[in-house]
Amino acid sequence: MLADRLSKAWGARRGSTPIEPVMRFSDEGLVLGAGTVLARSNGSGRAIAVDPSGPRLHALLTAAHLRRPTAGALAHLRKAAERWSQGHDGLATMHLALSQVGRLERPEADAQRLFLAGELLDAGFEADTIVDAIEAGGPALERLQKYDPDQPRVPAGSGRTSGEWTSTGGGSSDLPQSTPEPSQPEVNPSTITDTAYHDACGEAHRDCLKAAVQANSQHANDNFDALEADVTECGKADLACNLLSIAIEDVPLLDYGGVIFPHKGVVLIQKGRQDRYIPPLPGGRRPYFSRTP
């Protein structure tokens, strides 16, 4: 059964490939999670093309974040690929961060779901089918794993069930049919627990990058030196923020700390508490902060 093959494939991938929670470019292409390639390189150096309308990319990002990517997010990914191809690594990283889809909020679960979606696409599933299953919630995605695209399907002309999977090659489909449910807010049950998570370092990093773009907006489009320098400093602060957050949680003698980003935003980190981002004050002043009682 496809579900068994996917489970074994994930076990093998997880055992051989570390999870990378931040999107990056590699020789293979644009990569996220446990080595899942979102957009492949064409094999000639840095040439990576990101098609914002590509159904595969759309399905993979939906799987990774449990929501459809916005047009703005996809535009940033396209610009990131262009800057990477031109050799502007810092600007490519900036656009990945500004896309707000370049970082996994819950790396283990998100990477597994992303890997699963990629394997289903490779197995022949349509991107729209995967997106619909993800938006319907966990049970629908679990049912999706149980069906093999090589199974016979209901013949065309059989009404609304045409093209769905069947166990007999004709007749009724094995896929559960939708049933009316009481009217309720459109909430994806798979995202309820995720909303409690807040990536303070990531939010500060995005604001830092936006400030860098604004500060360097007077430069000509072909002069990226100053912007890349500012982007690099934002990246260093983001790395320090994430490392400090991990250290405070894991090292017994550390219980409190903070990171000041170049744009004067501050991330406060305290053991046992959620990291907190404080934006800069009007005029670009650093906010006052002290230990939370």
Q: Residues 207-216: pLDDT tens digits?
A: 998 888 888 8
Q: Please report whether residue 102 resides in a domain.
A: yes
Structural domain for 129, as ranges: 1-150
Integer Cα distance of 211 and 207 in angstroms: 6
pLDDT at 277: 92
For residue 61, pLDDT beyond 90 = yes
Print burial letters for 157-190: b (CB count within 10 Å at least 16), e (below 16): ebeebeebbbeeeeeebebeeeeeeeeeeeeeeb
Same domain for 3 and 86?
yes
Residue where one domain finishes, among candidates 150, 165, 186: 150
Q: Please report whether residue 245 resides in a domain.
A: yes
Same domain for 32 and 111?
yes
Q: Please report whether residue 176 resides in a domain.
A: no
Same domain for 8 and 89?
yes
For residue 196, pLDDT beyond 60 = no
Same domain for 206 and 98?
no
Q: How many domains does the chain have?
A: 2
**Angle at the Cα of 65 from the Cα atoms of 245 and 3, rounded to 5 degrees:** 115
- The neighbouring-strand residues paired with 153 are 165
Question: Is this model's pTM higher than 0.75 or not?
Answer: no
Same domain for 204 and 265?
yes
Residues ≥6 apart with Cβ < 8 Å to 291: 256, 270
Taking CA atoms, 61 is separated from 6, 50, 77, 111, in Å, by: 19, 13, 11, 11
Q: Please report whether residue 40 resides in a domain.
A: yes
Residues ≥6 apart with Cβ < 8 Å to 114: 32, 33, 34, 36, 60, 63, 64, 104
Count the helix, strand and coil residues of the chain and give each as a percent rounded to the nearest 5. Answer: 45, 10, 40
Q: Please report whether residue 184 resides in a domain.
A: no
Same domain for 141 and 248?
no
Residue where one domain finishes, among candidates 150, 182, 214: 150
For residue 224, pLDDT beyond 80 = no
Same domain for 127 and 243?
no
Same domain for 8 and 130?
yes
Residue where one domain finishes, among candidates 111, 131, 150: 150
Same domain for 215 and 135?
no
Same domain for 117 and 258?
no
pLDDT at 146: 55
| pLDDT tens digit sequence for 274-288 | 889 999 998 888 887
Q: Please report whether residue 115 resides in a domain.
A: yes
Same domain for 143 and 6?
yes
Q: Please report whether residue 110 resides in a domain.
A: yes
Q: Please report whether residue 80 resides in a domain.
A: yes
| pLDDT tens digit sequence for 105-155 | 888 889 999 999 998 888 888 899 888 888 887 566 565 555 444 444 444
Same domain for 9 and 137?
yes
